[in-house]
Amino acid sequence: MRRGGFTIIEVLTVIMVFSILIGISGYAYSVALKRTRDQQRISDLNNIKSAIELYYLDIKSFPAFYSGSNQITLAEYQLAPGTFNCVNNYRGIWPSFIQNFPRDPLSKLNQSGNDCTSLATASAHKGEYLYFVKNAPSLSPKSEYMLMALVERINNVNTNVTQESSTLSSWGYALDDISLCDQVNDSLCSHNYKLLSGKNN
């Protein structure tokens, strides 16, 4: 006749089952968070694009690129002048065409604590939304642009490294502060998702 209580085997079995369930739940939760963040990133870039297109209807040119003494390609710096201590004098899309300028959900930028020197670094650019425009240094009307982000799920990656690198180089960008890639979870990767102007999407 069996006495009351559980055997060691039964206890270990229950613990193992619970551990597996917790592991599966944790993984599912992590995947859900990444999916949600990527959805926000894609939505953010589309919202920025919509504001840029409205700007184009008004100005007949996409927003110019302010280079200053540093090549700061952060979208917020280029398109929403005045949100940092480091300010450029160009007219952006904020607040006339977009009320709240979006940031990556994992953004580490400090709105009040960044100056030009700190913004012009690879660490400041990594994972942040970027803005590039064709013929950036010239005063001619801008007819093409590219927005970039860093997504966490491989099925959202759409970067062609060779093509984007060639395009941005031809537009006059040195690409010193970003590292394009076509994968995720790469410590050297800074951006792997793009959104192009006009009919290119």
Spatial neighbors of 9 by CB under 8 A, at least 6 apart, are: none
pTM for this one? 0.84
Q: Is residue 11 part of a domain?
A: no
How many alpha carbons lie under 13 Å from residue 55 in its C-beta half-sphere? 27
Q: Is residue 194 part of a domain?
A: yes
Name the domain count of the chain.
Answer: 1
Q: Is residue 88 part of a domain?
A: yes
Q: Is residue 18 part of a domain?
A: no
Q: What is the DSSP letter of 196?
A: E
Q: Is residue 72 part of a domain?
A: yes
How many alpha carbons lie under 13 Å from residue 28 in its C-beta half-sphere? 6
Three-state DSSP state, 195: strand
Q: 3-state SS string over 112-164?
A: CCCCHHHHCCHHHHCCCCEEEECCCCCCCCCCCEEEEECCCCHHHCCCCHHHH
For the CA atoms of 150, 163, 78, 154, what is the dihedral angle to 10 degrees? -10
Q: Is residue 126 part of a domain?
A: yes
| Residue 76 lies in domain | 34-200
Residue 132: beta bridge partners? 146
Q: Is residue 190 part of a domain?
A: yes
pLDDT, tens digit only, all 201 positions of the chain:
455 677 888 778 878 887 787 878 777 788 899 999 999 999 999 999 999 999 999 988 899 888 765 778 999 989 987 767 666 667 789 889 999 999 999 998 865 556 677 788 888 899 999 999 987 666 677 889 999 999 999 999 999 999 999 999 999 888 888 999 999 977 889 999 999 997 544
Q: Is residue 64 part of a domain?
A: yes
